[in-house]
Structure 1
Amino acid sequence: LTHSGGASLVVWGLRLRLPEAGTQVSSLVGELGPACRDYASCWPLLVGCGEQRPSLTLLFQGENVFFLVTNFLVTPGQVQGRCPEHPSIPLANCWADQDCPEGETGTHSHGIKTGQCVVFNATHRTCEIRGWCPVESGAAPVKPLLLQAENFTLFIKNTVTFSKFNFSKSNALDTQDPTYFKLCRYDPRSSPACPVFRIGDLVAAAGGVFEDLALLGGAVGVHVRWDCDLDSRGADCQPQYSFQLQERSYNFRTATHWWESSGVEARSLLKLYGIRFDILVTGRAGKFGLIPTLISLGTGAAWLGVITFLCDLLLLYVDGEAHFYWRTKYEEVHVCPPSTATHSGRPGQDPTHRRWSQLPRGSQPSRSPAGRRRRRARS
C-alpha cells in the first residue's frame, strides 16, 4: 500500500494455482505494525510516518482479506479495577444500589456489576462495574481521521497457473521500466493492464462513497477473473477486474498490553473503522483438442437423430395441423378393385394395372389413342 505523500507499505504475492481438479490456492503476504499506547502515538503510526516502523494502516484478517484503517476511537491507559459503566449501555443508568444487582452482566456491558450505583458525571449516575477502566466511550466519530487514505494505491500481484495445459501468467506487465508501476493507475479503458489501484477509484467503481465508508467502515469485494483461450498461446489471456460494495459499516477492536513500572498490567484499546477488501480470484482456460471435438461431433449427430424422431412424433400426432404434414410426408396410392374379366388366361387380374404398379412413378404407359390401340392389339 503506497501513498503519494511518501508513507508506504507494500502488499506482495497474491498467487493463484488452478490444478486439474479445479482447486485454487491463494495467498496475500504483507507486514503488520504494532498497536500503540495512547492517542498521540497512534496518529503518526497509523499514517505510517514518524518512527521507522510498519504501518498499522493495513491489517490482514484472513486469506486474501485485508483491512484499511480510515478511522479509530482510542481508550488509552486502561487497567483492571472498578469504575462507572458508560450511560449508553442498556440498564447501566441507576438511582440507587438496588438498580444494580451484584454479579450481573449485560450483553454490551464492559464488566461485572459490583452492586453500587455511583456518579458517572454531573448528569448521569450509573452502575459500578469491575473490569478494564476507564470504560470505552460510546461516542461515534463525526468525521474520518484518515481521509487521505483515499489517495492510497493498492498493488495486487496475481499469478494464475493452469497445470493441465502447463501454462501460467501474471497480471503484472513484464516490463523493464522501473517507474511503470509507480506511475500507472488502473483504468478499465485507458490502462486495463495496470495492477495498481487508487483506493478512492476502487470504492467508486464498487458503487460507494469513500468519505461515507471512511467514517463508519465498509467492505468491498475485488474479483479478479481469468478467462483464457490458450489456442493463441495466451496472448488474449488477461485478467478482468470487477468491484462490489458488500457492507456499509465495519469495525473491530484491538488492544496492546504492557506492564507499568509498578507491576500493573495496562492496555490501550483501539476501535478501528475502515474498509475491508475481499479479494476473490477465479479462472478457467480452454484449448482445442481433437478427441473432445470428435466426441462432441458424435454426440451432436446422435442428438440430431433423436430430435428428428421427436419432431416427427409432434408434427404427425400432436400438432393441430397434423393432417397437412401427413399429406406432405406420405403419398397415398389407391389400388383399383379386381376385375371379373380374364386377361392372359388369369381370371380376375388386370395386366395393365399390374404393369403400371411395377413402373416407376411418372413412367405410366401413355394414355393417348395410339397407346390404347397398341394395348388392344397386344391383348
Structure 2
Amino acid sequence: MKSHITNAISDFFCEYETPRQVLVRNRRVGVVCRLIQLGVLAYIIVWVFIYEKGYQSTDTAVSSVFTKMKGVGYTNVSGEERVWDVADYVFPSQGDASFVVMTNYIITEGQKMGKCPELPGKHHCSSGSDCEGGRYKRTGHGQMTGVCVNTTKTCEVLAWCPVEDDSKIPDPPLLMSAENYTLFIKNSVTFPTFKVSRSNLVEGIDKNYIGNCLHDPKTAPLCPIFRLGDIVKMSGFSFETIAKVGGAIGIVIDWTCNFDVDVRKCKPTYEFHGLYGNPDEKDDVRASVGYNFRYAKHYLEDKVQKRTLLKVFGIRFDIIVQSLARKFDIIPTLTAIGSGVGIFGVATVVCDLMMLYLLPKREFYKNMKFKYTESQTQDPDSEAGSTETEASNK
C-alpha cells in the first residue's frame, strides 16, 4: 500500500501529460485555419490594443465647475427704459453648472392680494353655479369665490390681482442683447487613480489671454470665455428662435487624456448640444415648447404687501463634464493578451467541425482523431485508429 502511494506521488510530480495531436495535410482546412488565426490576430492588435487601448488602465475624474456671466441688457417697453445687469437676468446667481439666462419676459406690476375676475376667455361662466366656491381650477390663478362676474363672464377668484395675462409673448424677444453676453467657465478635474489634477486654464491661459480671447473651435479652442450667440449657433439653433420662448443647451467639457505622454497634453475640448428639440421641426407641431418660470419681487406700499411678477423666458445652460484617462498597466495588458490567446482556439473548433462533418474523408479523420474503447481494447503498438477485440486477446 505504501509503495502504491509513493508511486502515485512520484508520478504526480515527475510526469507530464500532453494532448495527442494529429497533423492533417488538407489545403482547405489549413487555409481556413490560418485565415481565422490572422483574423483573431488582427482583432487583438487593431481592436483590443490600438482602438480599445487594452494595455492601459482607466480612471474618471472628480470635477467642479463654476461660471460667471458678463454683459448688460437694455429694454424700452411702453416708453419705460430699463438696464438689466447680471444680477437681474441670471438665475441662480451663485455661478452654478446649471443656470438660466433670461432672454424674454412678461411683467405684471402692482399685484396685491384680493378678489378679481379671471381673464376673459378663461374659465367662462354664465352663473355662480359654474364657479363653485372654495375650489381651484388647474389653469386658474386662485381660489374661486362662487361669483360669476358679468362684465367678463369669468369666475371671480381670491388671488394676486390683477391676474397675469401671459397670452401674448413679446416678439421679437425683449432681451435680444443677450446674444452678446459672455460666459466664463472655470473647470477643475482630478483623476484619483493617477493622482493628476488639471484645470481648463491650461498652460498659456493667463490673465492677459483671458482678458482678450473669445472661444472659437478653430482659432481659440482653449479659450474659456464664450459668447452666448456663438454657443446657440454651434448647438444648431437660431438665437432669435430660442430666445423668444426659451430652451436648453448642453455644454460638454470632455477630458480624454493619455498619461503615457506628457501630462500637459491633457487638455479639454468643448461641445455644444441643443436640448431644445429638433431645429428643423416647426414650433406649431410641438407641445409645450421652450422653457420658462415665474418669480416675484415683494415690497410694501402704504403698508400693503404687493409684488411684481415676472414670467421669465430664458436659455437654460447645463455644463456637463465627461472624462476618461488612460495609462499603461501590466495587469490589463496581460489580461488582454491572455484573452486573445484563448480566442485562437476558435480556429481549432471550426477546423475540427470541417474535418469531422463536412469533408469527404470525414470518417477517416474521425478514426485518426479518436480512439474508441467502449467495447474494444486498444493495442498501444498498433497504428492510430486500429483496435483489437477482447476475444482476440484471449
Are 2:344 and 1:313 equivalent residues in the alignment? no
Separation in structure 2 between the aligned mates of residue 186 and residue 330 of structure 1, nearest angstrom? 74
The answer to whether the Cα contact below 8 Å between 2:116 and 2:162 also exists between their aligned partners in 1 is yes
Conserved 8 A contact 1:147-1:211:
yes
Q: 1:80 offset after TM fit, Å?
A: 0.8
2 CA distance for matches of 1:221 and 1:230?
A: 28
Q: Secondary structure at the match of 2:328?
A: coil
Return the offset for 1:125. 2.6
Q: 1:183 aligns with which of 212, 231, 235?
A: 212
| Contact 1:26–1:63, Cα closer than 8 Å, also in 2 | no
User: Between Structure 1 and Structure 2, which shows a larger proportion of helix residues?
Assistant: 2
Q: Is 1:256–2:285 an aligned residue pair?
A: no
Tell me if structure 2 keeps the 8 A contact 1:214–1:275. yes
> Partner letter of residue 251 of structure 1?
N
TM-superposed CA distance for 1:115, in Å, is: 1.6
Q: CA deviation at 1:178?
A: 3.2
- Give the secondary-structure state (helix, strand or coil) at the position aligned to 1:285: strand
- Matched residue SS, 2:303: coil
Residue 165 of structure 1 aligns to a residue in which SS?
Answer: coil
Q: CA deviation at 1:156?
A: 1.3
Cα distance in 2 for residues equivalent to 1:291 and 1:221 = 37
- Describe the superposition over 1:325-377 as per-residue Cα deviations: whole angstroms up to 9, x where unpaired: 99999999xxxxxxxxxxxxxxxxxxxxxxxx9xxxxxxxxxxxxxxxxxxxx
1:128 has 2:156 as partner? yes
Quick one: distance in 1 between partners of 2:67 and 2:215? 21
**Counterpart for residue 117 of structure 2:** 84
- Give the secondary structure class of the aligned counterpart of 1:156: strand
Would you say how many aligned residue pairs link Structure 1 and Structure 2?
294
Mapping 1:70-149, distance limit 5 Å: 70-89=103-122, 92-119=123-150, 124-141=152-169, 142-149=171-178
Q: Give CA-to-partner distance per residue, 1:121-164, whole Å, 9 cap, x none.
A: xxx43211111111001322222010011111111111121121
Structure 2 spans left out of the alignment, 5+ residues: 1-57, 71-76, 277-288, 370-382, 384-394
Question: For residues 26 and 86 of structure 1, what CA distance do their matches in structure 2 show?
Answer: 46
Superposed displacement of residue 231, structure 1: 0.9
What pairs with 1:144-293 in structure 2 (closer than 5 Å)? Answer: 144-175=173-204, 178-247=207-276, 249-260=290-301, 262-293=302-333
Q: Distance in 2 between matches of 1:66 and 1:217?
A: 13
> Structure 2 CA distance, aligned partners of 1:255 and 1:43?
20
Q: Distance in 1 between matches of 2:215 and 2:274?
A: 18
Residue identity matched to 1:28: F
Post-superposition Cα deviations, 1:276-299, rounded to whole Å, max 9, x if no partner, equal 011110101001123332332233
Percent sequence identity is: 37
Rounded Cα–Cα distance in structure 2 between residues aligned with 1:235 and 1:177: 15
Contact 1:221 1:243 in 2 (8 A): yes
CA contact (8 A) 2:252 2:271 kept: yes
When the two structures are superposed, what TM-score results if normalisation uses the length of structure 2?
Answer: 0.66
In the alignment, the residues of structure 2 paired with residue 43 and residue 68 of structure 1 have an alpha-carbon distance, to the nearest angstrom, of: 20
**Counterpart of 1:12?**
none
Measure how far apart 1:88 and its partner are: 4.3
Contact 1:103 1:113 in 2 (8 A): yes
Helix, strand or coil for the counterpart of 2:64?
A: coil
Q: Which has the larger radius of gyration?
A: 1
What SS does structure 2 have at the residue aligned with 1:105?
A: coil
Match in the other structure for 1:28: 66
Which of 306, 322, 336 is the aligned partner of 2:359?
Answer: 322
Q: Which runs of 5+ in 1 are unaligned?
A: 1-19, 33-38, 49-53, 333-356, 358-379
Separation in 1, partners of 2:338, 2:135:
75
Distance in 1 (CA, whole Å) between partners of 2:59 and 2:259 is 18
Instruction: Give how far 1:69 is off.
Output: 0.4
